[in-house]
Amino acid sequence: MAAMNIKIVDDPNLPVAQKIKIGKATELIGKRVLIQGWVHRLRVQKGLAFIVLRDGTGFVQCVLSGDLANAYQTTQLTLETTLSIKGTIEKLPEGKSAPGGIDLVVDYYDIVGLAPSGEDSFSNKVQEDADPQLLLDQRHLVLRGETLSGVMKVRAALLKSIRKVYVEEGICEVTPPCMVQTQVEGGSTLFKLGYYGEEAYLTQSSQLYLETCLPALGDVYCIQESFRAEKSHTRRHLSEYTHIEAELGFISFEDLLSHIEILITKSIQYVLKDPVAGPLIKQLNPGFVAPKLPFKRMEYIHALEWLNEHGIPNEDGEPFKFGDDIAEAAERKMTDTIGVPILLIRFPVEIKSFYMKKCADDPRVTESVDVLMPTVGEITGGSMRIESVEELLAGFKRENIDASAYYWFVDQRKYGTCPHGGYGLGTERILAWLCNRFTVRDCSLYPRFTGRCKP
Positions touching ligand 4AD (CB under 6 A) are: 184-185, 205, 207, 228, 230, 237-238, 241, 243, 245, 378-382, 422-426, 428-429, 440
Which of 205, 412 has the CB closer to ligand 4AD? 205
Distance of CA 383 to the CA centre of its chain: 23
Alpha-carbon distances, residue 119 vs 67, 142, 200 (angstroms): 29, 17, 46
List all residues 6 or more positions away from 325 whose beta carbon is below 8 Å from its beta carbon.
Answer: 315, 351
Shortest distance in whole angstroms from residue 183 CB to ligand 4AD? 10
Q: State how far the Cα of 74 lies from the Cα of 26, in Å rounded to an integer.
A: 25
Which of 1, 216 has the CB closer to ligand 4AD? 216
Shortest distance in whole angstroms from residue 251 CB to ligand 4AD? 13
How would DSSP label each residue in 330-394?
A: HHHHHHHHH-S-EEEE--BGGGS-TTBPEETTEEEEESEEEEEETTTEEEEEEEEB---HHHHHH
Q: Residue 313's CB: how many other CB atoms inside 10 A?
A: 14
Q: State how far the Cα of 149 lies from the Cα of 123, in Å rounded to an integer.
A: 17
Shortest distance in whole angstroms from residue 409 CB to ligand 4AD? 12
Which of 155, 237 has the CB closer to ligand 4AD? 237
Shortest distance in whole angstroms from residue 56 CB to ligand 4AD? 26
Which of 144, 448 has the CB closer to ligand 4AD? 448
CB-CB contact of 159 with 279 (8 Å): no
Which of 50, 191 has the CB closer to ligand 4AD? 191
Q: Are strands 362-366 and 172-173 parallel, antiparallel or unpaired?
A: unpaired
Which of 70, 242 has the CB closer to ligand 4AD? 242
Which of 40, 237 has the CB closer to ligand 4AD? 237
Shortest distance in whole angstroms from residue 300 CB to ligand 4AD? 14
Alpha-carbon distances, residue 46 vs 49, 92, 255, 305 (angstroms): 8, 21, 68, 70
Alpha-carbon distances, residue 328 vs 167, 232, 325, 332, 342 (angstroms): 33, 11, 9, 6, 15
User: Which DSSP state fits 441?
Assistant: G
What are the backbone angles phi and psi of residue 11, rounded to the nearest 5°?
-65, 115
- Closest by Cα among 436, 430, 446, 450 to 135: 446
Shortest distance in whole angstroms from residue 242 CB to ligand 4AD? 9
Q: Residue 177's CB: how many other CB atoms inside 10 A?
A: 11
Shortest distance in whole angstroms from residue 370 CB to ligand 4AD? 7
Which of 229, 394 has the CB closer to ligand 4AD? 229
Question: Is the bond leading into 374 cis (omega within 30 degrees of zero)?
Answer: no
What are the backbone angles phi and psi of residue 279, rounded to the nearest 5°?
-65, -30
Which of 234, 337 has the CB closer to ligand 4AD? 234
Shortest distance in whole angstroms from residue 416 CB to ligand 4AD? 21
Which of 8, 136 has the CB closer to ligand 4AD? 136
Shortest distance in whole angstroms from residue 221 CB to ligand 4AD? 10
Shortest distance in whole angstroms from residue 142 CB to ligand 4AD? 20
